[in-house]
Structure 1
């Protein structure tokens, strides 16, 4: 019988994707955002998916493992870094469900700043009170075969003895391993006009992989900027006449913006606005355009069979916020070896 897993703050299901690939059976997923929950349900089943505020969830089954990433904006380098941000407290709801489900193991994902926070110290104390031994640290996705230099914090709590984090030993994969076979020029800038009923509500979807190979309509100025950026380069490669005033006056920092990927290297972290080159290193390694939604999903190691619900911006957030399934699978196999 397959070990069971509960996914909290499930998003579109990146962690569940990895855990199911390793042989786990999902029995409950909780996600507050309707479109993300619809994506999860489309791939793993609506029967066990709750689109709800986690604080309202009371019917909690027993499970072998609980996984999830409580929202991290309060700890993020890109956020306000407000220690009183109420989102920092959501780990308490996570542990409330752990206490009810009594799993042998739980896994928490967050930004690396979380491990230095007072909230992590409080989580450690509460998890210890519940009888869990904790292991924690940061993992680099590229070390596990993900073509992306994405660093995240993970905590493994165990009632069956300490479980160390997995050790990544995969050679780094370049973005070419997942981008090379896709059409150079996306055929459209819009998602198909289709909808599906999930949780009794119509939402945009379900979109297949090639539906997400979406282009944009850059201005002539943007195209001229793109042409000046070499592989591995960025805004510092632009001549002065192409620099906006804010970049011209800021000679340091934000080194990855207007950056171009390299075929033979992993990408930098895929964030939620990867379709905007001014937000990071999101230019295609060869073509004068930002990466598409499908290319971002592949860099996150979502399989092409994955289906998506939502608008373009909503799907982009789902992709950028997810744990790469390949990294999640490595965590799942590590946990499975101790169950």
Structure 2
């Protein structure tokens, strides 16, 4: 099965498809760094750095499966006051590139990933009707990556679109959760003393609360409103596009390394990342978890 990847980012969708036995033949993104690292890890695919509003779909290879992760910032509640703000109209409109590509190529199957709030978008129903007009049924699936092979709680929506009269609903059985300790290496990273001068008061409060509940070794969210610690025996919380999770171990602490972020996302251990930590974390936090995607695509191939 040949696949293309719209809004390919760091390559989570492509990697999951490859794990499921698909051949990724084309990938596109508007960000040069994302295209660079996608190409480094998927050298056999054709790559395009382009705003997909201006895509020439006739130049895209024939394919059986279209993968797409339109920009989610305009939908996500994580944007706080900016959630639903008209300033994000341009990002929300990237979803219409999926309609445009589908109209030209008419692949048998399409999978679209986004945050669950995508279903609350004011234009979601017109978007769905446009896909129906092209002959596709649309079946939303809300999936937590931790239930499907990634050591991370990350809830995302996957729309399964198929040329079928009835929506194609997949029977994805939840797996046993993988704990965060499976990928955290206490012997690596840049540790600093917890009591160093200038440590934020809220950070110290989080650490104190974490010690009471989890002992000497645990995770904390370095920013946000979460004031409790998180056990290493649970999946980690959502990996974001900037450093979020810190490991507390005895009297020291550090942020996750870029490789731990990669492992938390369920990318293969040999997946290449930039040396720049901030860039690597951004790429990982903006990606799709490959292992859950591989399970979804395998199930889709059997059901179609």
Please tell me the TM-score bracket, short chain as reference.
0.7 to 0.9
CA-to-aligned-CA distance 1:191-234 (integer Å, 9 cap, x gap): xxxxxxxxxxxxxxxxxxxxxxx668985333982753526979
Q: TM-score, normalised by structure 1?
A: 0.76
User: 1:49 aligns to what SS in structure 2?
Assistant: strand
Aligned to 1:171: 176
Distance (Å, rounded) in 2 between the aligned partners of 1:166 and 1:86: 34
Matches of 2:36 and 2:211, distance apart in 1: 37
Q: Which residue of 2 aligns with 1:301?
A: 266
> CA shift at 1:109, angstroms?
0.6
User: Which one of the candidate residues 104, 111, 116 is aligned to 1:112?
Assistant: 116
Which stretches in structure 2 are left out of the alignment for 5+ residues? 215-222
Q: Per-residue CA shift, 1:131-159, capped at 9, x if unaligned?
A: 00110031111111211111111111101
**TM-fit CA distance, 1:324:** 0.6
Shift of 1:10: 0.4
* CA contact 1:62–1:100 (8 Å) conserved in 2: no
Structure 1 residue 264: deviation in Å? 0.7
* Residue 153 of structure 1: aligned partner: 157
Of Structure 1 and Structure 2, the greater strand share is in 2
- 1:262-277 matches, cutoff 5 A: 262-273=231-242, 275-276=243-244
| Contact 2:139 2:168 survives alignment (8 Å) | yes
Mapped partners of 1:232, 1:99: distance in 2:
57
Cα 1:20/1:140, change in 2 over 3 Å: same
Task: Decide which moves more: 7-16 or 97-106.
Answer: 97-106
Q: Is residue 232–residue 261 contact of structure 1 (8 Å, CA) maintained in 2?
A: no
How many Å separate the matches in 2 of 1:310 and 1:35? 12
Contact 2:25–2:44 (CA under 8 A) maintained in structure 1: no
Deviates more, 1:77-86 or 1:57-66: 77-86
Partner of 1:60: 60
* 2:219 pairs with 1:256: no
- Please name the residue that 2:84 is paired with: 82
Task: Measure, in 1, the Cα distance between the counterparts of 2:300 and 2:169.
Answer: 9
In the alignment, the residues of structure 2 paired with residue 230 and residue 313 of structure 1 have an alpha-carbon distance, to the nearest angstrom, of: 26
Is 1:99 the counterpart of 2:103? The answer is yes
Q: TM-score, normalised by structure 2?
A: 0.85
Hey, which bits of structure 1, 4+ residues long, moved more than 4 A? Answer: 214-219, 231-234
Residues in 1 aligned to 2:29 and 2:124: alpha-carbon distance in whole angstroms: 22
Cα deviations by residue, 1:249-284 (Å, 9 ceiling, x for unpaired): xxxxx4326x543111111111111x24xxxxx122
- 1:210 paired residue number: none
CA contact (8 A) 1:36 1:310 kept: no
Q: Does 1:220 align with 2:220?
A: no
Q: Calculate the aligned-residue CA RMSD, in Å.
A: 2.5
d(CA) in 2 for partners of 1:228, 1:50: 49
Deviates further, 222-231 or 322-331: 222-231
Q: 1:292 aligned to 2:238?
A: no
8 A Cα contact 2:75 2:115, kept in partner: yes
The number of aligned residues is: 283
| Structure-1 separation of matches of 2:107 and 2:78 | 33
Q: Is 1:141–1:148's contact at 8 Å kept on the other side of the alignment? A: yes
**Which residue in 1 is equivalent to 2:220?**
none
Distance change >3 Å, CA 16–CA 232, structure 1 → 2:
farther
Tell me the secondary structure at the aligned position of residue 337 of structure 1: helix
> Structure 1: which 5+ residue stretches go unaligned?
187-213, 235-246, 248-253, 277-281
The DSSP-based 3-state class of the residue aligned with 1:289 is strand
Do 2:20 and 2:294's aligned partners in 1 also have CA atoms closer than 8 Å? yes
Equivalent residue for 1:51, pick from 39, 49, 52 = 49
Measured in 1, the distance between the counterparts of 2:65 and 2:231 equals 38
For 1:184, the equivalent position in structure 2 comes to 187
